[in-house]
Amino acid sequence: MEDFLNWPRFPAYLELAHATAPIAQALMRTQIVRLYHDHLLVKEANTRQPTPWHQDQPYYDVAGRQVISMWLPVDAVPRENTLEFVAGSHNGPWLMPRAFMQREAKWFPEGSLDEVPDIDASRDAFPILGWALEPGDAVFFHALTLHSSRGSTGRRRVVSIRFLGDDAVRVERPWRTSPPMPPDAEFPLLVG
């Protein structure tokens, strides 16, 4: 289960974004930080469905290098159920975003971007990082970092906040982005 853009209805999301924005600012080396969106993710106990390897930014209507996410679990997450990353992948090209279940290319035309490599078929060939996390721990990562998570043995609830820095600008896409952003969407200034 997932839900987006809760901050206008639930002030705690905006409070969390304000509280963690200075970390995002330092990591992006930016003068300003804006809230792009919040994202609630829930995997119930014994969920076998993995979240496939992907980058976040190709799903967005944002261009620029200063785009990062914070992933903050509210339940303990053992190493085998945590979010994993391919170290250094944020320096690579944009890769084809696909629908997670149907694997369709709904955002960019088929063949216009390289495919995400089959990381799980040769995990030893990639520098994969991941950590067991306790409630309140947070992982920050660049929006072009390849990441994935396996199923979950226990209930896993996560709040993710996406931040924009100085060079991040909204761009028009000829398709529905994920999350779908209204044309007049606000991106609250958190720092600057």
- Domain of 10: which CATH number? 2.60.120.620
Contact call for residues 95 and 58 (beta carbons, < 8 A)? yes
CB neighbourhood size of 62 (10 A) = 21
Q: What's the number of CA atoms in the CB half-sphere (13 Å) around residue 4?
A: 12
| pLDDT of 46 | 92
| pLDDT of 102 | 74
CA 157 to chain centre: 14
Contact call for residues 57 and 109 (beta carbons, < 8 A)? no
Q: What is the mean pLDDT of each run of 10 residues along the chain (192 residues)?
A: 91 97 98 97 91 94 97 96 97 88 77 92 97 96 96 93 97 86 90 94
**What is the pTM (predicted TM-score) of this model?**
0.93
Domain span including residue 154: 2-191
Helix H or strand E encompassing 156: strand 156-164
Q: Is 28 helix (H, G, I), strand (E, B) or coil?
A: helix
Of 28, 3, 51, which is closest to residue 178 (Cα–Cα)?
3
DSSP 114: B
* Cα distance from N-terminal residue to C-terminal residue, the chain: 34
Measured between alpha carbons, how far is 186 from 192 in angstroms, rounded to an integer?
A: 16
Q: Which residues pair with 64 in a beta bridge?
A: none
Number of domains in the chain: 1
